[in-house]
Amino acid sequence: MQRRHFIATAALAAGPNILTAAKTAEPPLIVGHGSHRYRVEKSWSKADHAKILLENCHEMVQSTDGRLFLVTDHPKNNILIYNTDGSLLDHWTLNSKTAHGLTLQREGGVDFLHITMTDGRVVKTTLDGEVLLELDPPHKTGAYTADLPYHPTETAIGPNGDIYVIDGYGSQFILRYSAEGKFLGKFGGRSSMPEKPGKFMQAHGIALDTRGTEPLLVCTARIRNELAWFTLDGKHQRTAYYPGAYLSRPVIHGENLYSAVCFGFRENDYRMWTGRGFILILDKDNKAISCPGGATPLYENGTLKALMKEGNLVNNGHDVCIDHNKDLYLCQWNSGRVPPYKLQRLPI
């Protein structure tokens, strides 16, 4: 207490400029662990969001030319296009209140977007917003009976152009279509029981995992805190459990898997709580190695201990985008309409 009193007295004696600096200066926020540590830029977005409205920042991808495409569920601005410095380059809309999933496809040297809307629309567009393809919903193809709900959340694109639609807010199936939009089959389905591998409780996100000897589909079973891997024809391969991580979608970049966590545990209260998000980063063996916005991931006798939020960086994480410089962009749901934050990768 004596040392604190001395510092305060010295600041007052030095004059008002020193006191003002002491009040306003904030050290940079550094998050993450090990080789994946980041400096946070909360004011990264330079867009005037009093005019360019957004609701929930659901997902973001980077095109080959370096632009960042953000999908939001504000009907006036479903797609916002940024430079990596945070300047807004353009925006367009599909007039959707349910735009949710955003996947980039590189086909014939050209980039395309696949946009998933939880009201049942799944479309392929140009980067400028021209709709090129819209998939038939499963009730129209005969894949679903009339009693099964359909609220898709995301897509993944196979090596041959097949489109995999994950019905995360509906009946929990993964629906497979050809590149031309022909329905080919489905797998997965609903179950809250961990002893039923290959089933889901909120199959929220899906990606093509190219890190192994053959490409696989990796999917989040969000309520069960799991990732599940499948062959491209839908055969379940393995499941991994990450206690406390209610994962939104998997993102593959290099040898790592990244996922924004939407909900989490509290200390000694292992239920699902909103406002308890963070980012989870896995290595090539799918071991947790860093949790920006969370506590250090710890293993005990080979078992991952419960992952926990730490600090106030992440409220409800919905996606993380990794750019060409390995910097991250955090998108959030139900978090006061905040635009994405940038997390600048620190040198190892």
In percent, how much of the chain has pLDDT > 90? 89
Each residue's pLDDT tens digit, 146-205: 999 999 999 999 999 999 999 999 999 999 999 999 999 999 998 877 667 788 889 999
Is residue 328 pLDDT above 70, yes or no?
yes
Is residue 23 a part of any domain in this protein?
A: no
Is residue 15 a part of any domain in this protein?
A: no
Is residue 307 pLDDT above 50, yes or no?
yes
pLDDT classification of 26: cutoffs 50, 70, 90: confident
Is residue 21 pLDDT above 50, yes or no?
no
What is the CATH classification number for the domain harbouring 78?
2.120.10.30
Is residue 182 a part of any domain in this protein?
A: yes
Higher pLDDT, 101 or 23: 101
Tokens of 11: 């600041």
Q: Which of 10-14, 27-31, 211-215 has the lowest mean pLDDT?
A: 10-14
Number of domains in the chain: 1
Is residue 269 a part of any domain in this protein?
A: yes
pLDDT classification of 346: cutoffs 50, 70, 90: very high
Is residue 266 pLDDT above 80, yes or no?
yes
pLDDT given at position 7: 31
Each residue's pLDDT tens digit, 98-123: 999 999 999 999 999 999 999 999 99
pLDDT given at position 191: 81
Is residue 13 a part of any domain in this protein?
A: no
Is residue 9 pLDDT above 60, yes or no?
no
Is residue 24 a part of any domain in this protein?
A: no
Is residue 7 a part of any domain in this protein?
A: no
Q: Is this prediction's pTM over 0.85?
A: yes
pLDDT given at position 4: 35
Is residue 20 pLDDT above 50, yes or no?
no
Q: For residue 251, what are the domain limits?
A: 29-345
3-class DSSP string for the chain: CHHHHHHHHHHHHHCHHHHHHHHHCCCCCEEEECCEEEEEECCCCCCCCCCCCCCCEEEEEECCCCCEEEEECCCCCCEEEECCCCCEEEEECCCCCCEEEEEEEEECCEEEEEEEECCCCEEEECCCCCEEEECCCHHHHCCCCCCCCCCCCEEEECCCCCEEEECCCCCCEEEEECCCCCEEEEEECECCCCCCCCCECCEEEEEEECCCCCCEEEEEEHHHCEEEEECCCCCEEEEEECCCCEECCCEEECCEEEEEEEEEEECCEEEEECCCCEEEEECCCCCEEECCCECCCCEECCEECCCCECCCCCCCEEEEEECCCCCEEEEECCCCCCCCEEEEECCC
CA distance 248 to 220: 7
Q: Which of 14-28, 85-99, 183-197, 214-228 has the lowest mean pLDDT?
A: 14-28
Section 209-221 average pLDDT = 97
pLDDT classification of 50: cutoffs 50, 70, 90: very high
Is residue 2 a part of any domain in this protein?
A: no
pLDDT classification of 25: cutoffs 50, 70, 90: low
pLDDT given at position 16: 39
pLDDT given at position 78: 98
pLDDT given at position 87: 98
Is residue 84 pLDDT above 70, yes or no?
yes
In percent, how much of the chain has pLDDT > 70? 92
pLDDT given at position 295: 98
pLDDT given at position 27: 85
Is residue 80 pLDDT above 80, yes or no?
yes
CA distance 315 to 309: 9
Section 287-314 average pLDDT = 97
Whether residue 216 contacts residue 231, with contact meaning beta carbons closer than 8 Å, is answered with yes
